[in-house]
Amino acid sequence: MTREPLDPEALRRTLAGAGRDLIVGRRIEWHARIDSTNLRARALAASGEPEGTVVLAGEQTAGRGRGNRAWHSAGGAGLYLSAILRPQAAPAAVPLFGLMAALAAQEALRILGADAVSIKWPNDLLVGSGHTLAGRKLAGILTEARTFSDGIRDLVIGIGVNTGQTAADFPPELRAIATSLRELTGAGPPAPEPVAAAVILALDRWYRLWRRDGDAAVLAAYEASAPGLTGRRVRVEGGPAWTGTTAGLTADGALRIRRDGAPERIETIRCGDMIRIEEA
């Protein structure tokens, strides 16, 4: 699992050679070890850091996942990245940026050789069906925002990618459900700079696309990329479990599920809801 830590200067050179002025990745802040890149990016955002700053760490001591879970963040084993954005959008659009980040992460992972990666609503990156590692998680996204009544003050998009782990490197509870770029591509542990550059450039590209074409374009791209948003039998867990059939997304990215039983009832599941949706 051990690999050389990311060289921030080499990353800056790669980004400077991208051939365009970046929004995401304008400034890179690197930490060999930190509690959480999301916490750091949120603190920076609160103190007025401009849009586009990216915080990266070699290791997180308190990596955070969705639903108050921890994100396994051992040193030399993953990409831990958080980007600050300040989109001019309504508070209701916050979840859309999580979907946008999932599209960006999928694009980056494909560039890095993980062709089989698939998006599970809202923003888990899993190995797609038909692969020997199908259903295992390769990357996750935690979006955190500060809003005011009619706008988004700032938004932190945190992305964690399992890069160099073998099964033995994951804690026992993750061994059967997680995988890494290394396992998926069959190559050695990837160098950290190309992984970080691919994710930053993809985030930059998708954010520009949103600025140019708006919410509907991101939503349409997401619907084309994430399988199972309609007609999939699912089991919803997190309180008393129930089953139903997916019935598409709302305009702000929530998932509609037609709940089993009469009379017909459509539930709307929001990205931040503390629930788990599994294939039934």
Instruction: Provide the binding-site residues for ligand BTN, judged by CB under 6 A.
Output: 36-38, 60, 63-66, 69, 71, 80-82, 124, 140-142, 158-160
213 Cβ partners below 8 Å, 6+ apart?
A: none
For ligand BTN, which is the closer residue by CB, 177 or 216? Answer: 177
Closest CB 132 distance from ligand BTN, rounded Å = 22
Residue with Cβ nearer ligand BTN (38 or 246): 38
Least CB distance from residue 37 to ligand BTN, whole Å?
A: 4
Q: How far is the CB of 3 from ligand BTN (least distance, A)?
A: 17
Q: Is 144 or 215 the residue whose CB approaches ligand BTN more closely?
A: 144
CB nearest ligand BTN: which residue? 140
CB nearer to ligand BTN: pick between 14 and 163: 163
- Distance in angstroms (rounded) separating the CA atoms of residues 73 and 106: 20
Give the residue with the Cβ less far from ligand BTN, 17 or 143.
143
Measured from the CB of residue 62, what is the shortest distance to ligand BTN in angstroms?
7
- CA-to-CA distance for 13 and 29, rounded, in angstroms? 14
State which residue, 59 or 223, has the beta carbon closest to ligand BTN. Answer: 59
Contact 245, 229 (CB under 8 A): no
Q: Which residue has the tokens 């802040």?
A: 29
Smallest gap from residue 206 Cβ to ligand BTN (A): 17
Cβ closer to ligand BTN: 66 or 205? 66
Nearer to ligand BTN, 14 or 36 (CB): 36
Q: Rounded to whole angstroms, how far apart are CA atoms 270 and 111?
A: 30
Q: How far is the CB of 177 from ligand BTN (least distance, A)?
A: 11
Give the shortest CB-236-to-ligand BTN separation in angstroms: 18
Q: What is the 3-state secondary structure (H, E, C) of the chain?
A: CCCCCCCHHHHHHHHHCCCCCCCCCCCEEEECCECCHHHHHHHHHHCCCCCCCEEEECCECCCECHHHCECCCCCCCEEEEEEEECCCCCHHHHHHHHHHHHHHHHHHHHHCCCCCEEEECCCEEEECCCCCCCCCEEEEEEEEEEEECCEEEEEEEEEEEECCCCHHHCCHHHCCCECCHHHHHCCCCCCHHHHHHHHHHHHHHHHHHHHHHCHHHHHHHHHHHCCCCEEEEEEEECCCCEEEEEEEECCCCCEEEEECCCCCEEEEECCCCCCEEEEC
Q: Tell the smallest beta-carbon distance from residue 265 to ligand BTN (Å).
A: 29
